[in-house]
Amino acid sequence: MKYSENYIKIMDISVNLARVGNWTADNYDGKRNLILKFLAQTDKYLGDVKKLSLPKDVKQTILRFEKQFKLLRDEASRPKNTYDWAERALTWANILQHRAKLA
């Protein structure tokens, strides 16, 4: 099965968010450097996605995600509550996974 570039790029973000969410929930202190590295990579992916031609509803989701991702990224080095932070990352991973199918 061949996937569209839009699908692949959005799934790259979704998979990274799922990884960092799980790492944060399981062992934030042990995985902190890896979490920050993957968030930097995710930031690049988001920049790539913003350049794509996306359906209007998917584009709106990406714009909402961008605002929330900035908060996640800014809080990542010292989240007040690692479980809350992880839950937000995992929620967005799920949302983007479903939106990728529409892209």
Reduced to 3 states (helix: H, G, I; strand: E, B; else coil), residue 69 is: helix
Mean pLDDT of 84-103: 97
DSSP 76: T
pLDDT, tens digit, 9 for 90 and up, residues 48-92: 999 999 999 999 999 999 999 999 999 999 999 999 999 999 999
| CATH fold label, 5-100 | Four Helix Bundle (Hemerythrin (Met), subunit A) (1.20.120)
DSSP 4: P
The band of 1, judged by pLDDT with boundaries at 50, 70 and 90, is confident
Q: Measured between alpha carbons, how far is 103 from 88 in angstroms, rounded to an integer?
A: 22
Kindly tell me if the per-residue pLDDT of 2 is higher than 90.
Answer: no
Domain boundaries, the chain: 5-100
